[in-house]
Structure 1
Amino acid sequence: MDMIRLEHANITVNNPEATAAWLCDVFGWKIRWQGAGMQTGRTVHVGGEDSYIALFTFDGPNAPPAARYRTQASLNHLAVFTDEDISEVEARVAKAGFEPINHGDYAPGRRFYFLDHDGIEWEVASHQA
């Protein structure tokens, strides 16, 4: 059987263009598509060749964020994996104005987290020792 893989995730943010800009700067991704949302608002797809994050916003104000990790069906965090030196990624995260937190070593590598402007938690992981 062929492996089933995650193609994309769709998340609501306040400003899809601004979020896409820092994702491109920090992770080296590219904007794959952008335009009107299916029923309302606007969307920007940002990622690599095989997967992406769809960044969506409504035409009006977004609802206030729920308590993460306590709300059923809420997004807890998104994780990315890097083959490059994780310290270089961390430096770009800090340069983008985010605070790297919760550093940890795990078998077989290292990881850290940060919260973006929308309160979304991101994990950056690597298999480097």
Structure 2
Amino acid sequence: MARLEHVNITVADPDATAAVLCELFDWKVRWSGPGMTTGRTVHVGDETSYLALFSYGNPDELRQDSYRTRGALNHIAVVVDDLDATEARVKAAGFRPGEVHDYEPGRRFYFVEANGIEIEVVDYS
């Protein structure tokens, strides 16, 4: 058996991004500290998986179209138990969720967080 443990993404401010994700998804900071060779990293998620939020210290702005650039990140999907409550938290945090789509296998919406990363929020119940 194999499972995904983490994904490492570059953000402007790992601590600020972690705070928002913890608020939206009820996640916890699992670890934080200096990056392996430079910058700062914050691990945020639950006991089984997490996002490693990394900042080199002076990240460049997004310069590519992730859906057209091979190897680029298209979006991160987060499964929730209550799509409507999560959508309300996303709005309260100042983000603009897209339209809710209801098709197999679940209901979902997408929004773009402060670093330009698209997040899909899905409810399979």
Short-chain TM bin = over 0.9
Map of 1:13 onto structure 2: 11
How many percent of aligned residue pairs carry the same amino acid?
A: 56
The residue that corresponds to 1:33 in the other structure is: 31
C-alpha separation in 2, matches of 1:43 and 1:17: 8
- What is the alpha-carbon root mean square deviation over aligned residues? 1.0
Q: Counterpart in 2 of 1:88?
A: 85
How far did residue 81 of structure 1 move?
0.5
Q: Please, what TM-score do these two structures have when normalized by structure 2? A: 0.95
Is 1:105 the counterpart of 2:102 in the alignment? yes
> 1:68 aligns to what?
66
Counterpart amino acid of residue 117 in structure 1: A
TM-score by length of 1: 0.92
Farther-moved stretch of structure 1 (35-44 vs 68-77): 68-77
Unaligned runs of 5+ in 2: none
Instruction: Find the counterpart in structure 2 of residue 78 from structure 1.
Output: 76
1:62 and 1:108 map into 2 onto residues whose CA distance is: 36
Q: What letter matches 1:72 in structure 2?
A: R
| Rounded Cα–Cα distance in structure 2 between residues aligned with 1:107 and 1:29 | 26
Unaligned runs of at least 5 residues, structure 1: none
Q: Aligned letter for 2:84?
A: S
Tell me the CA shift for residue 102 of structure 1.
Answer: 3.8
The equivalences for 1:49-64 within 5 A come to: 49-59=47-57, 61-64=58-61
Range moving further from structure 2, 30-39 or 96-105: 96-105
